[in-house]
Amino acid sequence: MNSTLLEHHNPIPKMQSIKVNITIYGKLAEIGGGKHIAILDLEIPPSSTLGDLLEDLKIPMDETSFIFLNAVLCDVPGLSVVHDESLKEGAHIGIFSTGYMWPYQYRDGMPMSDPLVKAMKRYGAMHHSYKGLEDNSDETKKSF
Amino acid sequence: MAKKILRINMSDLSAKYEPLPEKWVKWGGRGLTSAITFDEVPPDCHPLGPNNKLTIAPGWVSGSPAAPSSGRTSFGGKSPLTGGIKETNAGGLASQKIAKLQIAAIIIEGTPAPGKWYLISINKDEVKFEDASDIFGKGMYEVDEILWERYPVKPAVIGIGQAGEMKLSNAGISVNDQENRPGRYAGRGGMGAVMGTKGIKAIVIDDTGAPGVEIANKELFAEGRKKLTAAILEHDLTKKGGGLPSYGTAILVNIINEAGGLPTRNFSTGQFEGAAKISGEMIAETIEKRCADGGEGQTGHACHPGCVIKCSNIYPNEDGSHLVSCVEYETAWALGANCGIDDLDYVAMMTYECNDIGLDTIEAGNTVAIAMEGGLLEFGDQEGALKTFDEIRNKTPLGRILGQGVEATAKAFGVHRVPTVKHQSMPAYEPRAIKGIGVTYATTPMGADHTAGYTIAPEIAGVGGKVDPLSDEGKADLSLTFQAATAFIDSTGYCLFIAFPILDIATGWAGMAESVAGVTGLEITGDDVIPIGKEILKMERLFNEGAGFTAEDDRIPEFMNYEPLAPHNVVWGIPDEELDKVYEWVHNDG
For residues B101-120, one letter each, b for 16 or more C-beta atoms within 10 angstroms of the residue's C-beta and e for the rest, the string is: bbbbbbbbbbbbeeeebbbb
Report, as an integer, the average pLDDT of B54-80. 91
Q: What is the largest CA-CA distance in chain A?
A: 45
Q: Are A51 and A82 within 8 A, CB to CB?
A: yes
Q: What is the CA radius of gyration of chain B?
A: 22
Residues B357, B477 within the same domain: no
Phi first, then psi: give them for residue B530, nearest 5 degrees: -70, -45
**Closest CA in chain B for residue A131:** B504
Report the alpha-carbon distance of residue B521 to residue B453 in Å, rounded.
27
Query: Which one has a higher pLDDT value, B497 or B252?
Result: B252
Specify if B85 maps to a domain.
Answer: yes
Residue A83 CB neighbours (<10 A): 19
Q: Is residue B516 part of a domain?
A: no
CATH number where B306 lies: 1.10.569.10
pLDDT digits (tens, 9 = 90+) for B512-540: 889 999 999 988 877 788 899 999 999 99
A111-135: b (≥16 Cβ within 10 Å) or e: bbbebbeebbeebbbbbbbbbeeee
Helix (H, G, I), strand (E, B) or coil at A22: strand
Specify whether B565 is located in the same domain as B485.
Answer: yes
Q: Which whole number is the average pLDDT over B101-120?
A: 97
Going through chain A in order, the beta strands assigned E by DSSP cover: 5-9, 18-25, 37-44, 64-69, 72-75, 91-97
- Final residue of a structural domain among B388, B418, B448: B418
Q: Would you call B85 helix, strand, or coil by DSSP?
A: strand
Find, among B211, B89, B206, B74, the residue nearest to B148 by Cα: B206
Q: Specify if B234 maps to a domain.
A: no
Q: What is the CA radius of gyration of chain A?
A: 15
Of A108, A127, A129, the CB nearest to B236: A129
| Cβ-nearest to A66 among B242, B255, B503 | B255
Judged by DSSP in three states, A30 sits in helix
| Chain A residue set in contact with B, beta carbons under 8 Å | 1-2, 4-5, 23, 25-26, 35-37, 66, 68, 70-71, 73, 77, 94, 96, 98-112, 117, 120-121, 124-129, 131
Residue B73, pLDDT > 80, answer yes
Q: Give the pLDDT means over successive 10-residue stretches in chain A (144 positions).
A: 49 73 95 93 94 94 94 93 94 93 86 94 82 64 58
Q: Are residues B183 and B270 in the same domain?
A: no
Q: What's the CATH number where A56 sits? A: 3.10.20.30
Range with the lowest mean pLDDT among B75-89, B181-195, B493-507?
B493-507
CATH of the domain at B41: 3.60.9.10
pLDDT for the residue B463:
53
Q: Best interface-test mutation with A: which of B232, B253, B254, B258 has the largest number of A CBs within 10 A?
A: B258
What per-residue string of b and e applies to B247-268 under the rule 16 or more CB within 10 Å gives b? bbbbbbbbbbbbbbbbbbbbbb
Same domain, yes or no: B411 and B545: no
Q: Which amino acid is at B9?
A: N
Do B405 and B457 share a structural domain? no
**B341 shares a domain with B288:** yes
Residues B485 and B403 in one domain: no
- Residue ending a domain, choose from B359, B393, B418: B418
CA distances from B307 to B110, B157, B488, B492 (A): 35, 19, 19, 14
* Shortest Cα distance, chain A CAs vs residue B437, angstroms: 6
Distance, in angstroms, between A110 CA and closest chain B CA? Answer: 5
Q: What is the CATH number of the domain that holds B486?
A: 1.10.599.10
Same domain, residue pair B196 and B71: yes
User: Cα–Cα distances in Å, from B136 out to B164, B398, B403?
Assistant: 11, 21, 18
| Min Cα–Cα distance to chain A from B9, Å | 40
Q: How far is A97 from chain B (nearest CA, A)?
A: 9
pLDDT at B464: 46
Residue in B137, B508, B132 with CA at minimum distance from that of residue B309: B508
Query: Is the pLDDT at B2 greater than 90, yes or no?
Result: no
Asked whether residue B178 is assigned to any structural domain, the reply reads: yes
Q: Nearest-CA neighbor of B162 among B186, B142, B188, B184?
A: B142
CB–CB of B540/B452 below 8 Å? no
Mean pLDDT over B448-469 rounds to 67
Q: How many CB pairs under 8 A join A and B?
A: 134
The bridge status of strand B103-109 relative to strand B4-9 is parallel
pLDDT at A1: 36
Query: Distance (Å, rounded) from C-alpha B292 to C-alpha B307?
Result: 25
With residues binned 3-state (H G I as helix, E B as strand, rest as coil), the percentages for chain B, rounded to 5, are: 45, 15, 45
Domain range for B93? 4-205
Q: Are residues B307 and B381 in the same domain?
A: yes
Nearest to B435 among A4, A101, A109 (CB): A109
In this prediction the pTM is: 0.94
- Tell me the C-alpha distance between B88 and B102, whole Å: 21
Give residue B493's pLDDT.
Answer: 87
Higher pLDDT, A143 or B307: B307
Q: Could you say which residues from 265 to 324 on chain B have a Cβ atom under 8 Å away from some Cβ of chain A?
A: 270-271, 276-277, 279, 281-282, 284-285
Q: Which of B284, B482, B568 sits opposite A111 (nearest CB)?
A: B568
Q: Residue B241: its chain A contacts at CB < 8 A? A: 99
In a domain, B99, yes or no: yes
CA-based nearest distance B41→chain A, Å: 32
What is the domain count for chain B?
3
Q: How far is A29 from chain B (nearest CA, A)?
A: 11
Last residue of a domain, one of B373, B388, B418: B418
Q: Give me the domain span that covers residue A86.
A: 5-142
**Residue B293 confidence class, pLDDT cut points 50, 70, 90:** very high
Give me the number of domains chain A comprises: 1
**pLDDT tens-digit profile of B573-586?**
999 999 999 999 99
Q: Is the pLDDT of residue B182 over 50?
A: yes
Residues of chain B found within 8 Å of residue A127, distances taken between Cβ atoms: 457, 503-504
**Average of pLDDT values for B108-122?**
97
Q: At what angle do helices B435-443 and B475-492 cross, to 10 degrees?
A: 60
> For position B121, what pLDDT does the model report?
98
Whether A110 sits inside 8 A of B433 (CB atoms) is yes
Question: Residue A66's closest chain B neighbor by CA?
Answer: B255
| Nearest residue in A to B573, CA atom | A109
Is there a single domain that holds both residue B367 and residue B440?
A: no
Any idea what the Cα angle at residue B449 is, between residues B444 and B203, rounded to 5°?
A: 105
Partner residues linked to B54 by β-bridges: B108
| Single-letter code of the amino acid located at A55 | E
Residues A106, B256: C-beta atoms closer than 8 Å: yes
Residue A66, class by beta-carbon neighbours within 10 Å (0-12 exposed, 13-18 middle, 19+ buried)?
buried
Sheet order of strands, B322-324 included:
B298-301, B312-316, B322-324
Mean residue pLDDT across chain B:
94
CB contact under 8 A, B282 and A96: no
Q: Measured over all CA atoms, what is the biggest interatomic distance in chain B, rounded to whole angstroms?
A: 64
CA-nearest of B529, B181, B158, B497 to B355 is: B181
Report the alpha-carbon distance of residue A34 to residue A40 in Å, rounded: 10
Q: Is residue B389 part of a domain?
A: yes
Cβ(B225)–Cβ(B515) under 8 Å? yes
Q: Are B455 and A121 a contacting pair at CB < 8 A?
A: no
Q: Tell me, what amino acid is at B488? A: F
Is residue B315 assigned to a domain?
Answer: yes
Strands B4-9 and A72-75, sheet pairing:
unpaired
Q: Which of these, B517, B96, B524, B33, lies nearest to B307 by C-alpha position?
A: B96
pLDDT of residue A3: 39
CA distance A81 to A143: 9
